[in-house]
């Protein structure tokens, strides 16, 4: 199928008006993500079954028509492994995409295995071998070569072609309902933001630190998040985790001491040194009741291992009753999220955090009758 480049607001608006009449819209993006917090959008590919278009974000100023199309409840949006696509579209202000069906998740519901790549799915369903030669293109460069543009267009061509057979292979209407509910969850998950004051909870090595050190990490992580958003910088370019850990452990009090911290660079010292020393002084002055609680390995909590086994059994039982693979109901990230929410945060922090995915949306309805609920969180469920 031929494609059309859209480089003007009026052309995009006209296409969106036409595509609003279609039952399906295949959607993909190309982007670059190197030093920025958000991906830089290079192309948006759309296929309404009648025509394929490649939208050039470097030319478009008015994204409202596309935002309205992607939020149109009458048009099912088809994507494949779309987490980063959602981030890329959010960079131009498009947040609501509904209804949304991820073909990677559909393949998993059918039982074809988790995390099936797009090329493998296309080859399995259409017998087409996707040429990945152009996958590492600099999508912000202009002009893009014909081979690069055709590669981008093919993504939504094949995506729409394979969808009817994929939907027909789903094990019943409930499976489709779950996929659409999971599409809503994907959007909600992207929009759920950890409060800046709790960003330190995301650090992998937080269990290694005492409460006073955690207070330093809490302040630095909140500042890093805000600064990264203001400057559109990757978190690691603001301050690396390893340097955060050293600052928390060593607690330097002077510019000279700060300059001796392993990993400290002269540019960081000159730009942020005095502010960082202030953060450390403020954390050291906190009363004990104002400090975060010590983190521990989950398995050090009384009853944790029993709850972990109960949770694993509950997921299997709930998945069997619902007729879906357990991998759809729960992945490791969701399991750990629930366990951390139950065991590793204070009551006050738990009130500020979003509910774990196990306790929201379609998963709650399926899991709650089976889910072990520790006493400390029963009032919140």
Active-site residue numbers? 28, 30, 85, 151, 155
254, 277 in Cβ contact below 8 A? yes
Tell which residue, 335, 342, 333, has the closest CA to residue 312: 335
Would you state the structure tokens that stand for residue 129, as one six-digit string? 């071998």
240, 217 in Cβ contact below 8 A? no
Tell which residue, 99, 94, 67, 84, has the closest CA to residue 183: 99
Cis peptide before 366 (omega within 30 of 0): no
- Burial class (CB within 10 angstroms; exposed 0-12, middle 13-18, buried 19+) of 87: middle
Tell which residue, 342, 335, 343, has the closest CA to residue 363: 335
Q: How many Å apart are CA 64 and CA 43, to the nearest integer?
A: 16
Q: How far is CA 341 from the centre of its chain?
A: 19
CA 156 → CA 24, 273, 331, 361, distances in Å?
11, 49, 28, 29
Q: How many Å apart are CA 76 and CA 181, to the nearest integer?
A: 13
């Amino acid at each position: 199928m031929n494609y059309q480049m859209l480089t003007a607001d009026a052309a995009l608006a006209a296409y969106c008006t036409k595509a609003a009449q279609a039952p399906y819209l295949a959607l993909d993006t190309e982007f670059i993500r190197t030093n920025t917090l958000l991906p830089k959008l290079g192309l948006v590919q759309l296929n309404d079954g009648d025509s394929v278009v490649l939208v050039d974000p470097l030319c478009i100023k008015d994204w409202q028509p596309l935002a309205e199309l992607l939020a149109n409840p009458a048009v099912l949006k088809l994507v494949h492994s779309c987490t980063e696509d959602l981030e890329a579209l959010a960079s131009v202000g498009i947040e609501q995409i509904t209804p949304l069906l991820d073909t990677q998740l559909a393949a998993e519901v059918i039982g074809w295995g988790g995390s099936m790549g797009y090329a493998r799915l296309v080859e399995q369903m259409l017998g087409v071998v996707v040429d990945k030669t152009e996958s590492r293109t600099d999508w912000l460069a202009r002009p893009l070569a014909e081979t690069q543009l055709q590669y981008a267009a093919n993504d939504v061509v094949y995506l729409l072609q394979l969808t009817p057979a994929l939907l027909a292979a789903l094990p019943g209407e409930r499976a489709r309902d779950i996929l659409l509910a999971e599409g809503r969850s994907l959007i909600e998950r992207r929009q759920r933001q950890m409060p800046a004051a709790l960003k330190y909870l995301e650090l992998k090595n937080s269990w290694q630190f005492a409460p006073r050190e955690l207070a330093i990490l809490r302040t630095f992580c909140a500042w890093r998040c805000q600064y990264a958003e203001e400057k559109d910088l990757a978190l690691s370019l603001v301050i690396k985790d390893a340097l955060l850990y050293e600052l928390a452990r060593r607690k330097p009090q002077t510019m000279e001491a700060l300059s001796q911290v392993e990993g400290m660079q002269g540019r960081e010292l000159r730009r942020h040194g005095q502010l960082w020393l202030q953060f450390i002084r403020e954390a050291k002055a906190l009363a004990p009741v104002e400090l975060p609680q010590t983190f521990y390995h989950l398995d050090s909590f009384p009853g944790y291992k029993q709850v972990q086994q109960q949770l694993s059994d509950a997921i299997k039982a709930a998945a069997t009753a619902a007729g879906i693979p357990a991998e759809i109901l729960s992945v490791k990230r969701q399991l750990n999220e629930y366990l951390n929410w139950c065991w590793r945060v204070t009551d006050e922090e738990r009130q500020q955090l979003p509910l774990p995915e196990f306790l929201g949306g379609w998963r709650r309805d399926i899991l709650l009758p089976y889910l072990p609920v520790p006493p400390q969180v029963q009032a919140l469920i």
